[in-house]
Structure 1
């Protein structure tokens, strides 16, 4: 049970209200200016900055990145529950996503599971509210929130902000975290001591005796890996918008896998063929769910 509990904590999607702060266009623009040096020079070889934080019961990861697409294209593409389901399913641990309306509120029903094909009954069902919090000519903020998660965790959120920089570029901020208690912390420590013992994050916290980078580990390493996986899903989703609708899925899946394989120490899990086979089956199941079919 320890491995399963640790696994669920390792793939949590969202973040607590206490840490995530709703900004605005001016604040995000100031962040872009303040991070100019980090965006220009980093270990990712792209204009991207990642950070994480941990308190007694909160974990949070944040990514800030420039993307080579205009806000006029990016903003509309990141609005709508169906669009978010198309984005989230790229992550290898998302088994299905269904947009729905509950009592007049937009919801995303997201099943999170393991890194292989499995019935939905074996995955954890998250119920996320979905809300466009701000939609301005040069700025978008979308918030997702789930009140409950596995092992007594609660109050999950995703916050995604996008700002227009110029006619060709946008600036994106993705933030996610989760609240955890003693039971969840113990389960995560069990995961990190067994199947997750060789996993690391992205922040460089020192050097080894051989002069190699020493990467963030432990629970902050977990949140950094998942922050990156979801950012790469956003990036792959947006990168296929110029293609005909029928060609977008294959490009997104291949681009997501190629992107995670740029960081094998942190993110390698499945070979491309296995990932593509699993995801094509899961997308078919997701499409059946959207049409109201009963699936497993």
Structure 2
């Protein structure tokens, strides 16, 4: 496979390929069923102080863990949009594709029944036949005035990765005027994937860091990578929901601008390309979709 011919490039792609949105506080949570509305309210109560005092200039908490051959991470956030708006849009496969397309390395996302067919590639222009195809099954798990839960899953991915579980859950706050959002993501790695990623982070990726501080430094390696992914996908959801207040013809441009500007607030972790390059590339990719 081409993945083995270019291990560093493959590992770079792997470090941010899998989404969405979206990560669990632990692998166990990501693989388990959805938490109840009551459990999410308790979770919010436990994290409320951390969320309010967040160093990210946004009300959110990022966490990650690595256990054996499994990686997981999470973002818990309070969003200003009403719960009804978040619930309506974040359960739509088309909206999920729009969110995924904000990422630099998402080359295409197509809704195919209960699947999201995603092509992941480099951070610059790339033909689709050179990108990696991953099909996520969309599984709604709860939808009410009190609780929303959605799972995206893929049994396998490139370079001996497996068991992708992406979970999105939300409950209303302040009588539904705001939304508490939990994004969870986990996946497992075969030995080839783990060795390649370790090699990448020991060489070309050695300077890349996440958001958790250990002493005077930010965490690096695979946990750093999953934290960067977590933040990128949270910011994509944030940009998507915020763009809905713009006139419909302007919403896509609005969310692209919002996402890029938000990631640049954390340039140490998230900067990849320049603004004009990003916007031009995304415009070409959406034209390729016929959108």
TM-score using structure 1 length: 0.91
Which residue number corresponds to residue 155 of structure 2?
147
Which residue number corresponds to residue 292 of structure 1?
none
1:80 to 64, 69, 92: 92
Q: What SS does structure 1 have at the residue aligned with 2:68?
A: coil
Q: What SS does structure 1 have at the residue aligned with 2:87?
A: helix
1:226 to 225, 229, 233: 229
1:157 and 2:160 equivalent?
no
Runs of 4 or more consecutive aligned structure 1 residues displaced over 6 Å after TM superposition: none
Deviation sequence 1:216-253 (CA, Å, 0-9, x none): 11110010000111111111011111122111001100
1:89 and 2:92 equivalent?
no
Q: Is the 8 A contact 1:107 1:128 kept in 2?
A: yes
Q: What SS does structure 2 have at the residue aligned with 1:108?
A: strand
**260-269 vs 176-185, which moves further:** 176-185
CA distance in 2, matches of 1:12, 1:87: 14
Q: What SS does structure 1 have at the residue aligned with 2:73?
A: strand
Structure with higher helix content: 2
| C-alpha distance 173-86 of structure 1, shift in aligned 2 (>3 A) | same
How many equivalent pairs are there?
278
1:9 to 7, 14, 17: 14
CA distance in 2, matches of 1:93, 1:11: 8
Tell me the C-alpha RMSD between the 2 structures: 1.4
Q: What SS does structure 1 have at the residue aligned with 2:126?
A: coil
Q: Is the 8 A contact 2:76 2:182 kept in 1?
A: yes
Question: How big is the shift at 1:177?
Answer: 1.7
CA distance in 2, matches of 1:286, 1:107: 16
Q: Is the 8 A contact 1:8 1:150 kept in 2?
A: no
Question: How big is the shift at 1:131?
Answer: 1.6
**145-154 vs 279-288, which moves further:** 279-288
Q: Is the 8 A contact 1:39 1:65 kept in 2?
A: yes
TM-score using structure 2 length: 0.92
Which residue number corresponds to residue 183 of structure 1?
192
Question: How big is the shift at 1:96?
Answer: 0.3
**Unaligned stretches of 5+ residues in structure 2:** 1-5
CA distance in 2, matches of 1:143, 1:46: 25
Q: What SS does structure 1 have at the residue aligned with 2:210?
A: coil
Question: How big is the shift at 1:19?
Answer: 4.5
1:239 and 2:247 equivalent?
no
**Unaligned stretches of 5+ residues in structure 1:** 208-213, 289-296
Which residue number corresponds to residue 54 of structure 2?
42
Question: How big is the shift at 1:18?
Answer: 4.7
